[in-house]
Structure 1
Amino acid sequence: MAVDNPAILIWSLLFGIFGLGFFTYGKRQGALIPLGVGLTLMIYPYFVSNLALLVCIGIALILLPYFLKL
């Protein structure tokens, strides 16, 4: 993946940091939703090259555990 836009790289790094936080929290608490969201946040930027789509998916994933509780 060649990054032409530095904003994509910065947003990917930011969502990766959030993903690491969610993953760590989910693993320690035994909560599957934050664990899955964390993994997804760390992996999906490798497959999305559109900046608007990257930001929208990332924000939706960050908000998902707050609205979906099991």
Structure 2
Amino acid sequence: MRETTMSMSTILWGLLFGSIGLGFFLYGKKQQAIVPLFCGLALMVFPYFVSNTFLLVAIGVALTALPYFVRI
């Protein structure tokens, strides 16, 4: 069984992206905009599954920037 340990930076990055995700989710729900809604949901959920800090930051930045470039 693989043991995973989370560093303090991973926890803080996860908290930051989860907070941004909550903002996107609430905005998308209120404005009925599908892209911010799903990006916000993804930002809140994905830190639970990614343990590498660099990968966490890369995915988080990509999901944070996605609603600014994709308008549906």
TM-score w.r.t. the length of structure 1 is 0.95
State the aligned residue count: 70
Where in structure 1 do 4 or more consecutive aligned residues deviate above 4 Å?
none
* Aligned residues of 2:21 and 2:41 also touching (Cα < 8 A): yes
**RMSD over equivalenced CA pairs, Å:** 1.3
CA distance, structure 2, for counterparts of residue 20 and residue 44 of structure 1: 13
| Structure 1: runs of 5 or more not aligned | none
Give 1:53's match in structure 2, choosing from 52, 55, 58: 55
- For the pair shown, the structure with the greater C-alpha radius of gyration is 2
Name the structure 1 match of 2:39. Answer: 37
TM-score w.r.t. the length of structure 2 is 0.92
| Structure 2: runs of 5 or more not aligned | none
